[in-house]
Amino acid sequence: DSGVTQTPKHLITATGQRVTLRCSPRSGDLSVYWYQQSLDQGLQFLIQYYNGEERAKGNILERFSAQQFPDLHSELNLSSLELGDSALYFCASSSRPGAEAFFGQGTRLTVV
Amino acid sequence: TQLLEQSPQFLSIQEGENLTVYCNSSSVFSSLQWYRQEPGEGPVLLVTVVTGGEVKKLKRLTFQFGDARKDSSLHITAAQTGDTGLYLCAGARGSGGSNYKLTFGKGTLLTVNP
């Protein structure tokens, strides 16, 4: 158990819909990362937060947004969903940016 | 283009064999981490290397960081079926402060057959 909790574990939704993925980092970790993993693209960095503020952005689509709340949990919002958004979405946390990252078990999103 | 290139992409070997997988980049990293991921699970950290030329051993696994901190290798001795999984390398770099980015390679999918 990494100490990082992601909910839900599975999500099936229709194209055009909006979903919210939730992440609770390890106790004490201030940094949260979101990654998307698909078979052809591997683990793609989306966005990083540190203590509530956005710190780094990767290949995150404009239809996607995220935030980190004062209690340090984070949410990833995916809107106007397309079939190609189907993937595993991982959240990871670390004590500080660039340090060892601990991953949650992921949310498997299926867009039909 | 991928910042971190891992090779080979797939590797299937027999139990007891030795193997080496590689992680290469043209960029310099502050540190490099190796993770293993099993199906349906998140990646789990194996080791972090920080100093150029550093070698770390974890039982039958030997990790090396290149002198220039641009590449790394993972060597497994006498592979076991339990070593099966996706091996990912991740490089950490940033401009300091709190905006370090951890970038992953696509991984090497290792299958160890009994």
Question: Which residue does chain B place closest to A45, by CA atoms?
Answer: B103
Tell me what pLDDT residue A19 has.
Answer: 98
Tell the residue number behind the tokens 């891992």, with chain if given.
Answer: B6
Find out whether B114 and B15 touch, Cβ atoms under 8 Å.
Answer: yes
Q: What is the DSSP letter of B24?
A: E
Distance CA A78, CA A59 (A): 14
Copy the structure tokens of residue A36: 């998307």
Tell me what pLDDT residue B101 has.
Answer: 74
Tell me what pLDDT residue B100 has.
Answer: 67
**Residues of chain B above pLDDT 70, percent:** 92
Tell me what pLDDT residue A97 has.
Answer: 77
Identify residues of B whose CB sits under 8 angstroms from chain A CBs.
2, 30-31, 33, 35, 40-45, 48, 88, 90, 92-94, 97-107
Find out whether B102 and B53 touch, Cβ atoms under 8 Å.
Answer: no
Each residue's pLDDT tens digit, B68-111 = 999 999 999 999 999 999 999 998 876 555 556 788 899 999 99
Tens place of pLDDT per residue across chain A (112 aa): 889 999 999 999 999 999 999 999 999 999 999 999 987 778 888 999 999 999 888 889 999 999 999 999 999 999 999 999 999 999 999 988 778 889 999 999 999 9
Asked whether the predicted pLDDT for residue B1 surpasses 70, the reply is no
Q: Which residue has the higher pLDDT, A79 or B3?
A: A79
